[in-house]
């Protein structure tokens, strides 16, 4: 049974409300899969729209740009709206523009539709974490967020390979049509199963700048940027890196192992995040740093690469829940604005990882990747380690 506090800020129950949380997970699944689908279907999309694969690749970039530009402004603009209304608007945008992508024969119309889908993602990511946390007591918030974010690794590990396979078999438009169909199901699911909550009253809101200046917010954003930049250097250019160990033909298996390890990581995070957030963050950062160090010497050894990929996947699986929990703890009642900043930092890191990885590949080769990762992860670990007063605090979260 749900019960709202006097301030109208929180609705809680002692047990995890699985139906609403799984609706949030499906929202994340649609957002991530909508973003990543073109990457595995560039040749088919290019042929279908009459453009080169390079131009088709911009359908991924423009989505990230839409999310990057929209997250903070739209979160601020809709902060006073009821939460269910905002979520329905985001899902509705996914429905409309995935449908346009499915039917469009014009590259420029498809590009515009992809930008608007990215806008929907920016809006959704800005509210999902705060919405999930407000449905449960403080001692269940970490587990609730882990369930709400499970759509991310599921989309990466299972959804993207399945969508690529389906697009190769039946044409690239079919997976986008299925995304639109899922959005219809999710609209109905949200209307029926997700409880509504009020937005934030005007008198309680802080400006974006003031939220950014809150003591714990900036360290969390810094760790996100460093961690995800390192991750995306290797993830974006995993193909060239695997040529060093002769595993290029095994890329499908390797990405599957990465995804399965990520699912284990999010399960471990969900079980422990409310009691051991700081330890989880430091362990995850140290794990990728250790993988980077081992790969500097063993990048040409298939067994070492396989083991490194599995540990990397495990460390990445809990990243979203850990970072969003840390950001929300640091921002308190201003969680939605902080989560929009998290979205912005995450997308900047995706872009930075692609740019830095490309420069490294062109100028130093894939052998430079582990060294770059090691440098970035060392700084990220130190940022988290020394920020324990206001961010990544020790102890159980319900004791804060």
pLDDT of residue 400: 52
- Whole-number pLDDT of residue 5: 41
Is residue 127 within 8 Å of residue 339, measured between CB atoms?
A: yes
The yes-or-no verdict on residue 63 having pLDDT over 60 is yes
Please report the domains of the chain, with CATH numbers, ordered by start residue.
12-202 (1.20.1250.20), 208-394 (1.20.1250.20)
What's the average model confidence in pLDDT over 68-97? 93
Q: What is the maximal distance between C-alpha atoms in the chain? A: 62
Cα 234 from Cα 373, distance rounded (Å):
8
Does position 15 have pLDDT exceeding 70, yes or no?
A: yes
Percent of the chain with pLDDT over 90: 48
- What band does 209 get if pLDDT is binned at 50, 70 and 90? confident
- Asked if 315 and 284 touch (Cβ cutoff 8 Å), the reply is yes
pLDDT greater than 50 at residue 171: yes
The reported pLDDT for the residue numbered 258 is: 87
pLDDT band at 14 (very low <50, low <70, confident <90, very high): low
> Which stretch, 76-80, 131-135, 177-181, 351-355, has highest mean pLDDT?
177-181
- Residue 346, pLDDT > 50, answer yes
**Does residue 227 have a pLDDT over 60?**
yes
Q: What is the mean pLDDT of residues 17-26?
A: 95
- The pLDDT of residue 181: 97
Cβ atoms of residues 273 and 321 within 8 Å: yes
Question: What is the spatial distance between Cα 149 and Cα 320, in angstroms, rounded to a whole number?
Answer: 7
Beta-bridge mates of residue 4: 11
How far is residue 316's CA from residue 258's CA, in Å, rounded to a whole number?
9
Instruction: Look at residue 4 in the predicted model and tell me its pLDDT.
Output: 42
**Interval 277-311: pLDDT, tens:** 999 999 999 999 999 999 999 999 999 999 999 99
Candidates 94, 50, 47; CA nearest to 70 is 94
Q: How far is CA 23 from the centre of its chain?
A: 16
Residue with the bigger pLDDT between 321 and 185: it is: 185
Question: What's residue 213's pLDDT?
Answer: 85
Q: Tell me which residue has tokens 């990405």.
A: 255
pLDDT for the residue numbered 143:
85
CA 349, distance to chain mean position in Å, is: 11
With the CA atoms of 198, 220, 77 and 63 taken in that order, what torsion angle do they form, in degrees rounded to the nearest 10?
-120
Q: What is the mean pLDDT of residues 140-168?
A: 84
């Amino acid at each position: 049974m749900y019960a709202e506090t006097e301030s109208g800020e929180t609705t809680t129950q002692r047990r995890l409300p699985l139906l609403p949380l799984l609706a949030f997970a499906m929202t994340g699944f649609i957002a991530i899969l909508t973003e990543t689908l073109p990457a595995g279907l560039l040749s088919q999309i290019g042929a279908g729209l009459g453009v080169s694969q390079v131009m088709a690749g911009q359908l991924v970039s423009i989505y990230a740009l839409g999310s990057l530009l929209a997250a903070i402004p739209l979160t601020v603009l809709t902060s006073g709206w009821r939460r269910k209304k905002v979520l329905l608007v985001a899902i509705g945008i996914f429905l409309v523009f995935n449908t346009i992508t499915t039917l469009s024969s014009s590259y420029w119309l498809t590009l515009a539709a992809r930008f608007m889908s990215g806008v929907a993602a920016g809006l959704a990511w800005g509210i999902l974490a705060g919405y999930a946390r407000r449905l449960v007591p403080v001692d269940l918030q970490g587990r609730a967020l882990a369930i709400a974010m499970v759509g991310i690794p599921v989309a990466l590990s299972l959804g993207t390979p399945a969508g690529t396979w389906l697009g190769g078999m039946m044409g690239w438009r079919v997976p986008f049509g299925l995304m639109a169909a899922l959005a219809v199901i999710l609209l109905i699911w949200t209307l029926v199963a997700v409880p509504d909550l009020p937005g934030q009253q005007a008198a309680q809101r802080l400006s974006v700048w003031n939220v950014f200046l809150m003591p714990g917010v900036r360290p969390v954003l810094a760790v996100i940027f460093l961690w995800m930049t390192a991750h995306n250097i290797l993830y974006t250019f995993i193909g060239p890196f695997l040529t060093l160990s002769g595993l290029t033909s095994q890329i499908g298996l390797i990405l599957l192992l990465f995804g399965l390890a990520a699912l284990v990581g999010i399960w471990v995070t969900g079980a422990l995040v409310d009691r051991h957030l700081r330890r989880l963050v430091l362990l995850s950062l140290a794990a990728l740093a250790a993988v980077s160090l081992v790969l500097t010497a063993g990048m040409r050894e298939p067994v070492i690469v396989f083991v490194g990929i599995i540990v990397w996947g495990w460390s990445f699986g809990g990243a979203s829940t850990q970072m969003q929990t840390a950001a929300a703890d640091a921002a308190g009642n201003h969680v939605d604005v902080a989560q929009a900043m998290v979205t912005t930092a995450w997308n900047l890191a995706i872009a930075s990882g692609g740019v830095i990885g490309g420069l490294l590949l062109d100028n130093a080769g894939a052998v430079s990747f582990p060294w770059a990762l090691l440098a970035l992860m060392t700084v990220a670990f130190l940022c988290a380690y020394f920020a324990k007063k206001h961010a990544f605090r020790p102890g159980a979260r319900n004791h804060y």
